Amino acid sequence: MKQFVSLIKKEFHHILRDRRTMFILLGMPIAQIILFGFALTNEVKNARIAVYDQSKDIATAALITEINSSRYFDIENNLNSYKEIEETFKKGSIKLAIVFPQNFHDDLQHFNKAQVQLVTDASDPNTANALSNYATAIIKDYENRITNDRKLPYTIKTETRMLYNPQLKGSYSMVPGVMAMVLMLVCTMMTAITIVKEKELGTMEILLVSPLKPIKIIVAKAVPYLLLSIVNISTILLLSVFVLEVPINGSLLLLIFESVLFTLVCLAFGLLISASTGSQQIAMFISLTGMFLPTIMLSGFMFPIENMPLPLQIISNIVPAKWYYSIVNAVMIKGAGIEIVWKQTLVLAGITLLLLALSIRKFKIRLA
Amino acid sequence: MSNENVISVDGLTKRFGHFVAVDHISFDVKRGEIFGFLGANGAGKTTAMRMLCGLSLPTEGKATVAGFDVYTQNEQIKKNIGYMSQKFSLYENLTVKENIRFYAGIYGKSDQFIRQKTEKVLEQLHLTNEADKLVGSLPLGWKQKLAFSVAIFHEPGIVFLDEPTGGVDPVTRREFWNMIYEAAANGITIFVTTHYMDEAEYCGRVSIMVDGRIEALDTPSMLKQQFDAASMDQVFLKLARKAERSDN
């Protein structure tokens, strides 16, 4: 035990003395949560839009006022032709154009039906989608209000020139993704690097010649990063609750338990990497391509898995972050309990055991 | 020097697939002896040394280190040996004191033992004023001497030195060897590999490995006589030229 404490103390010295790495490790979650939470948010405020009103009647005027007064939109200019819409989009000065056809009010009065067209700048699909959703909501709202005192309901049909993108779930689905990413970076990459570093320096040999059991050396390497990860998880959760105003709807205990489980997956993976290579650069490269990229691409955090081609959907099942992401999403955002996420938890636990067994085996082979 | 064998090796062999890295080597090392273990790169020195340190299992043959069997008792072997590798092996971002504490700690030494001995060692190395400096800030020669002190800090019966003086200036090398003599006089057996032939002259006995086999083993003066050579350098060259393999 005393030996073990010596080892852990030493690891902490390494981490604490390397100020820059410390700064990155503790600062990264803050930077990421703020980046993903604010800068990359899908929620759009005060987007500049244009209106092409071919009807110019009381109904369109009322709707335009409605839209302009919402906090989402600022009407930038009024256009007079379809050609102008395209030109304005090309200049990039607007994100959305609303087109009212001729006789809007008349159609509404006589046929109880009218059409609005929403044209969005699809080069930024997320924003485009969010904007068209907001605009549609405002129009529906207006429609409900004017229908109130009539027998036959008015319907204003909105037609959006863009396909629905199911991935768009609002800014706070980013939080589970950032948690997965940060844990991966801290645990996988840092453990892999710190073990490989000792190999490069030759100190690993000294440790292996000592009476310490190899497994103790490895566990001692992992403990400080496990603690760091818990600090990071807390930072992320605090930031998301108090800064991004994302509530934790499920059990906090369950959330932490799942996060520790995922941390173990990452540590095991880092260990596996460190056992397979002797150079820090390669360790870093494998961590990035083997863990970080799949986490971003295939966990469902950036791109919806259900939209992927079948082979990728199948591959995504072996990405631990996919399971962790869906667990955190369910627990934190939807308030699910263990009775809902037990399957994912089991898969994650399975992957952990597999990776741990593999890496310990690999470590032993290297010693023989 | 007593007549007790602390390392005894008989027909020790290590194969990796068809490649025979170490080919039936046999020798004994006595307590307090300075045993030079020479050979060109790729001759199998490191593999042999790893087997003796309990880091690698032999394919066949017998070996005991400090009275313990390399097949079954490598835990006990590890407790009784010290090791210093050709790669520098202290932590640069720990202080001198912390390095000593750490290495003594992983050998399970008591706090009191560590505290008392640390003072003594620092005094001997004239490092008392640098005790709280990071090892990274020390000159290489001092680091090597410190690394040696750390390797024998837990008072092992045998210390394995794998090219301990690589890249060190001649004066420091001389000082380093004085430390080795002192340790040997205190009953610590020294098992050392080196590429410096002047250092081979300092050893009590020298073995020279070529292609996995021990081709010569005797005192430096006897070897020179046997090979009709003026220096260990010539002895080594005569033997090493026969080598069919090298790692280059």
**Tens digit of each residue's pLDDT (9 = 90 or more) over B82-117:** 998 877 678 988 999 999 999 998 888 888 999 999
Q: How far is B106 from chain A (nearest CA, A)?
A: 4
Distance from CA of B88 to the nearest CA of A (A): 6
Mutating which of A3, A10, A196 best tests the B interface, going by the most B Cβ atoms within 10 A?
A: A10
Residue A170 exposure: Cα atoms within 13 Å on the Cβ side: 8
pLDDT band at B153 (very low <50, low <70, confident <90, very high): very high
Examine residue B246 and state whether it is found in any structural domain, yes or no: no
Number of domains forming the structure of chain B: 1
- C-beta atoms surrounding B242 within 10 Å: 9
Amino acid letter, A338: I
Identify the closest residue of chain B to A197 by CA–CA distance. B91
- Predicted confidence at residue A350, as pLDDT, reads 94
Q: Report pLDDT for B192.
A: 93
Selection from A358, A265, A362, A279 nearest residue A319 by Cα: A265
pLDDT given for residue A123 in this prediction: 59
The predicted-structure confidence for B155-183, as pLDDT tens digits, reads as follows 999 999 988 888 788 888 899 999 999 99
Could you read off the pLDDT of B4-55 as tens digits, one per residue? 889 999 999 999 988 999 999 999 999 999 999 998 888 888 889 989 988 8
For residue B22, being part of any structural domain is answered with no
Best B89, B107, B148 member to test A by mutation, with max A CBs in 10 Å, is: B89
**Neighbour tally for A367: CB within 10 Å:** 13
Task: Identify from B50, B98, B106, B109 which residue to disrupt to test chain A contact, counting A C-beta atoms within 10 A and taking the largest count.
Answer: B106
Residue A211 and residue B102: Cβ atoms within 8 Å? no
pLDDT in tens, B59-84: 999 999 999 999 988 888 988 999 98
Of A358, A350, A357, residue with least CA distance to A262: A350
At B121 the pLDDT is 92
**A77 has which bridge partners?**
A50
Task: Show the domains of chain A with their CATH numbers.
Answer: 2-40+171-367 (no CATH), 47-160 (3.40.1710.10)
Full domain range(s) for residue B107: 33-58+74-240
Alpha carbon distance, N-terminus to C-terminus of chain A = 25
CA nearest A345: which of A222, A249, A234, A257? A257
Residue B139: inside a domain: yes
B65 within a domain of the structure (yes/no): no
Distance from CA of A13 to the nearest CA of B (A): 7
Say if A19 is an interface residue toward chain B (CB within 8 Å): no
Return the closest-CA partner of residue A120 out of A149, A151, A99: A99
Task: Give the distance from CA A355 to its chain's centroid.
Answer: 25
Given this model, what pLDDT does residue A38 score?
Answer: 67
Q: What's the CA gap between A223 and A232, in Å, rounded?
A: 14
What's the pLDDT score for residue B161? 92
Distances (CA, A) of B152 to B64, B155, B183, B188: 20, 5, 8, 8
Which residues of chain B neighbour A201 with C-beta distances below 8 Å?
87-89, 91-92
Q: Do A202 and B56 touch (CB under 8 A)?
A: no
Interchain proximity A3–B78, CB inside 8 Å: no
Q: Nearest residue of A to residue B14 by CA position?
A: A368
Q: Between A5, A205, A210, which is nearest B107 by CB?
A: A210
Asked if residue B15 is part of any domain, the answer here is: no
| Cβ distance of B89 and A367 shorter than 8 Å | no
- Residues of chain A positioned with their CB less than 8 A from the CB of B78: 209-211
| Contacts A10 to B, Cβ<8 Å | 91, 94, 98, 102
Helix H or strand E encompassing A23: helix A19-34
In this structure, the number of other CB atoms found within 10 A of the CB of residue B168 comes to: 19
Residue A167 has a pLDDT of: 38
Predicted local distance difference test score (pLDDT) of residue B177: 92
B43, part of any domain: yes
* SS3 (DSSP) at B195: coil
Structure tokens at A122: 């699809």
- Distance of residue B226 Cα from the nearest chain A Cα, in angstroms: 36
pLDDT at B246 over 50: yes
Distance CA A240, CA B166 (A): 54
pLDDT below 50 — which residues of chain A?
162-171, 368
**Which of A198, A366, A217, A197 lies closest to B106, judged by CA?**
A217
CATH number at B161 reads 3.40.50.300
B88 CB neighbours in chain A (<8 A) are 201-202
Contact between A138 and A66 under an 8 Å Cβ cutoff? The reply is: yes
Q: Is A311 on the interface with B (CB under 8 A)?
A: no
Predicted-assembly ipTM surpassing the 0.85 threshold? no
Region of residue B38 (left: phi > 0; alpha: psi -120 to 50; beta: else): beta
**Shortest CA gap A75–chain B (Å):** 60
Among A210, A218, A363, A366, most B C-beta atoms within 10 A, so best to mutate, is A210
Encoded amino acid at B51, one letter: M
In terms of Cα–Cα distance, which of A177, A175, A180 is closest to A246? Answer: A175
Asked whether residue B137 is assigned to any structural domain, the reply reads yes
- Residue B19's CB is within 10 A of a number of other CB atoms, namely 9
Cβ distance of B106 and A201 shorter than 8 Å: no
Residue at B4 is within a domain: no
